Amino acid sequence: MRMMMTVSLPTEKTNAGIKDGKLMAAIQKMLTDLKPEAAYFTADDKGRRSGIVVFEMTHSSEIPKLAEPWFLDFNAEVSFRPVMNPQDLAAAGPDLERAAKSH
């Protein structure tokens, strides 16, 4: 299943990581291990450094392996959401039609 993981990083912890040179190496390692379809970096609604990572998850038991590095390295807040690309949405068309007819 295609998932979107959002990570929000506390400013003090990431400032220290930038200053000691460990922030980028840690993020690169996590992304290399994950092999995401896409990764974007931005500021969240609270002004914290954050990332949005889209990847394929085969089983929910992968959540700790994916989230713990962010928790341990950065005290990050992490959330997961299933997401669809346009092809996934097109494949859901028959289910949308059935739901529209029955509700």
CA 13 to chain centroid: 19
Could you tell me the pLDDT band of residue 6, with boundaries at 50, 70 and 90? very high
Copy the structure tokens of residue 99.
Answer: 């739901």
- Which residue spans within the chain are E strands per DSSP? 2-9, 38-43, 49-56, 77-82
Domains of the chain: total: 1
Copy the structure tokens of residue 39.
Answer: 């990764």
Encode pLDDT of 14-38 as tens digits: 999 999 999 999 999 999 999 999 9
CATH number of the domain that residue 33 is part of: 3.30.70.260
* Alpha carbon distance 55, 2 (integer Å): 6
Encode pLDDT of 61-79 as tens digits: 999 999 999 999 999 999 9
Look up the domain containing 8 and give its range: 2-102
What order do you get walking across the sheet with 49-56 strand by strand?
Answer: 38-43, 49-56, 2-9, 77-82
